[in-house]
C-alpha cells in the first residue's frame, strides 16, 4: 500500500517570494501523483498531475512539480507567489493499474503575507 | 462549468435526524466517492462506488450508508445524525481510464454539515 508524507503542515511566505511545498511518497509499484488546492470553504481543485513522460509537470496558476523517482518525491514549486495563493495544498498518490483509490497527504497550509 | 455538484453548501440538522447528501456528476465517470474532512485528520474515505448499484466501504463507513441508483448520482445517508458527524463532506468522481488525459479526481464544492 502507498503512503504520502507532506513534510510541512504550514508554510508562511511573503508575497512575490518563491515557495516549495514538499511531498514524499512510498510505494512498491509505479505511481500516479497529484497536487490539489483547496481554498477556504471550497472543494479540492486539481493543480497538476504526473501520469508518465516528462518528470517536470506544469499546472495551473503558475505552479509546477518535479517527479523524482529515486527520492520518491513530488515537490510543488512556484517562483513568485501572490496573496491569492493562500490555501491548503494536498499531495496524493495512486498506484498504476490499481483500483485508483488515491492516498492523500495531510495537507500543507500556504500562507502568503503582504 | 460545474462538473460535480453537491446539493447543499451548508446544512444544519438535529441529532437523530436522517440526513441525505446528494452528489451529481456530468462527466460520465464510473467512480464516485464520499470523503469527510476534519482539521488535523485530512481527508477520510467513507464510501465509494465503481458502478451503478455497487458500493464499497472506505476507511470510516460506520454511521453512514450510500445509494447509487444512477451512474451520475451518488448519495450519502446519515441514518441517525450525531454531533460527531459535524464535518465538511466532499464528493468526488473519476474515470476508470488511466490513460485518459483527464484522469484524476474532480471534487464538488463540499457540504459543511453541522449537527446540533
Give the pLDDT confidence of B24-72 residue by residue, as tens digits.
Answer: 999 888 899 999 999 888 899 999 998 898 999 999 999 999 999 999 9
Closest Cβ opposite residue A43 in set B31, B40, B90: B90
Interchain contact, B42 vs A96, CB within 8 Å: no
**Is residue A30 scored above 90 in pLDDT?**
no
For chain B, what is the mean pLDDT? Answer: 91
Q: Which of B105, B112, B113, B114 to mutate to test the interface with A (most CBs of A within 10 A)?
A: B105
- Give the pLDDT mean for A40-45: 88
Cα separation, A20 vs A63, whole angstroms? 10
Interchain contact, A43 vs B43, CB within 8 Å: no
With CA atoms as reference, the chain A residue closest to B91 would be A43
Residue A69 touches partner B, C-beta closer than 8 Å: no
Closest Cβ opposite residue B42 in set A42, A51, A107: A107
Q: Which residues of B touch A90 (CB under 8 A)?
A: 42-43
Cα separation, A64 vs A47, whole angstroms? 9
Cα separation, B100 vs B29, whole angstroms? 12
Strand partners for B84: none
Note the pLDDT of residue B39.
87
Note the pLDDT of residue B100.
63
Cα separation, A69 vs A80, whole angstroms? 26
Nearest of A90, B27, B50 to residue B58 by alpha carbon: B50
Residue A99 pLDDT class (50, 70, 90 cuts): low
Assigned C-alpha cell, B72: 451520475
**Is residue A37 scored above 90 in pLDDT?**
yes
Note the pLDDT of residue B98.
63
Phi and psi torsions of B85, nearest 5°? -100, 5
Cα separation, B74 vs B45, whole angstroms? 14
- Give the pLDDT mean for A87-95: 93
Q: How far is CA B46 from the centre of its chain?
A: 8
Cα separation, B116 vs A10, whole angstroms? 31
Residue B89 pLDDT class (50, 70, 90 cuts): very high
With CA atoms as reference, the chain B residue closest to A89 would be B42
- Give the pLDDT mean for B85-103: 82
Residues 15-34 of A with CB under 8 A from B: 32, 34
Note the pLDDT of residue A2.
79
Note the pLDDT of residue B103.
74
Note the pLDDT of residue A68.
94
Closest Cβ opposite residue A49 in set B9, B42, B104: B104
Residue B8 touches partner A, C-beta closer than 8 Å: no
Cα separation, A2 vs A32, whole angstroms? 11
- Give the pLDDT mean for A2-15: 94
Note the pLDDT of residue A83.
96
Residue A10 touches partner B, C-beta closer than 8 Å: no
Assigned C-alpha cell, A95: 498506484
For chain A, what is the mean pLDDT? Answer: 92
Note the pLDDT of residue A96.
76
- Give the pLDDT mean for B65-94: 96
Give the dihedral of Cα atoms A54, A93, A61, B23; nearest 10 deg: 130
With CA atoms as reference, the chain A residue closest to B50 would be A99
Amino acid at each position: 500500500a502507498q503512503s504520502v508524507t507532506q513534510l510541512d503542515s504550514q508554510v508562511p511566505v511573503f508575497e512575490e517570494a518563491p515557495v516549495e511545498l514538499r511531498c514524499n511518497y512510498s510505494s512498491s509499484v509505479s505511481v500516479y501523483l497529484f497536487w490539489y488546492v483547496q481554498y477556504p470553504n471550497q472543494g479540492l481543485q486539481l493543480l497538476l498531475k504526473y501520469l508518465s513522460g516528462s518528470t517536470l509537470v506544469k499546472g495551473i496558476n503558475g505552479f509546477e512539480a518535479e517527479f523524482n523517482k529515486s527520492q520518491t518525491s513530488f515537490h510543488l514549486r512556484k517562483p513568485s507567489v501572490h496573496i491569492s495563493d493562500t490555501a491548503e495544498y494536498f499531495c496524493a498518490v495512486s498506484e498504476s493499474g490499481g483500483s485508483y483509490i488515491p492516498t492523500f497527504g495531510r495537507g500543507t497550509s500556504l500562507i502568503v503575507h503582504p | 462549468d460545474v462538473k460535480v455538484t453537491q446539493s447543499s453548501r451548508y446544512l444544519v440538522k438535529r441529532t437523530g435526524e436522517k440526513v441525505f447528501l446528494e452528489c451529481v456528476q456530468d462527466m460520465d465517470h464510473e467512480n464516485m466517492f464520499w470523503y469527510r474532512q476534519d482539521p488535523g485528520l485530512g481527508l477520510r474515505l467513507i464510501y465509494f462506488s465503481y458502478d451503478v448499484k455497487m458500493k464499497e466501504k472506505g476507511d470510516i463507513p460506520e454511521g453512514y450508508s450510500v445509494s447509487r441508483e444512477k451512474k451520475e448520482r451518488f448519495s450519502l445517508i446519515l441514518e441517525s445524525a450525531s454531533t460527531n458527524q459535524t464535518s465538511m463532506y466532499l464528493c468526488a468522481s473519476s474515470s476508470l481510464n488511466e490513460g485518459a488525459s483527464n484522469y484524476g479526481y474532480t471534487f464538488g464544492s463540499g457540504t459543511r454539515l453541522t449537527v446540533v
